[in-house]
Every structure is written in C-alpha cells, then in structure tokens.
A = this chain, B = another copy of it.
Amino acid sequence: MGKIQSETLAILNANSDFYTAFAAGCAKSMQTLWSRDENITCIHPGWPPLRGQDDVISSWQCILSATPPMVAFSKATVHIHGNVGYVVCCEHLEPGMLIATNIFINEDNAWKMVHHQASIVPLNCDNDILNEIDEFDGPRTLQ
C-alpha cells in the first residue's frame, strides 16, 4: 500500500473514530481524538464558533452528556495536502441530515482533529438536493 493510500485510510479511521465517540457518548474518546493544539475550532449547528481546548472540549462534554444520539456518517471524501487532511461527509442524525467538514493534522504520526463544522440540510429540501447528495462519492482519496 502506498503512502497516500495508507494516510487516506488513517484519516478515514480518525474520522470514523470521531463518529464512534459521538454515537457512544464517550467524552474521553472524543477528547483524545482532538489535537492538543490550543486553537482547535468547532462549529456546531446553531452554535457560535468555538475556539480553544476549554470551549471545544466542554461543548462536546455537554452534548455527549445527553442521551447518545443515533449518528453515523457516509459519503466521506478525504483530501490530503501534506500534514493536513480534511474530510467532507454527510452526518446522519435523528431526525435529519447534516454536512460536515472535519480537518485533521498529523500530530506525532497520528491524525488529530483541529476543526469541525456541521450544518443542517433543511428537512424540506427538494429531491434534487437529495439526489446530488446521493451522487457525492465516498470514500476516496482526493489530493
């Protein structure tokens, strides 16, 4: 396996770990997968932008302290540029769908999240939007 392929898989795994921690409601796992960078950022739907370890991690502790949601991701595309990788994917939560950008940096040979933004796809969106989402390929490597 080439380096790009193995790094792509590693980023996909990091992305998968994020949704696994989310679905499990595990704040400790969630904290571990974020970078130690002081300036991590996070934009939850309907929230203000958050920056810094304290604000981002505590936002997840708050979210995960509720009943763990049914959450999964699909149609992940991985983009790698040197030591930075980002994933665009769909998030499936009850009762709707979101689109997310997840940015990772290579930190001591592990891909760690430095930024997350999720935004809602309106429930009343038309079939064209759903069809286009359906055609959004994944997973694959995009450089």
Contact = CB atoms under 8 A, between A and B. Distances in A.
Interface of A: 37-39, 41, 43, 45-51, 75, 77, 79, 81-84, 86, 88, 90, 99, 101, 103, 105, 114-115, 117-122, 125, 129-130, 132-133, 136-137, 142-143
Contacts of A129: 46-48
A41 B82 contact: no
Nearest to A101: B117
Given A39-B142, A49-B136, A86-B115, 14 more contacts: A37-B143, A41-B79, A46-B129, A48-B130, A50-B132, A81-B82, A81-B83, A81-B114, A82-B84, A101-B115, A117-B117, A117-B119, A118-B119, A119-B120
B88 A132 contact: no
Contacts of A99: 43, 48-49, 117
A101 B82 CA distance: 19
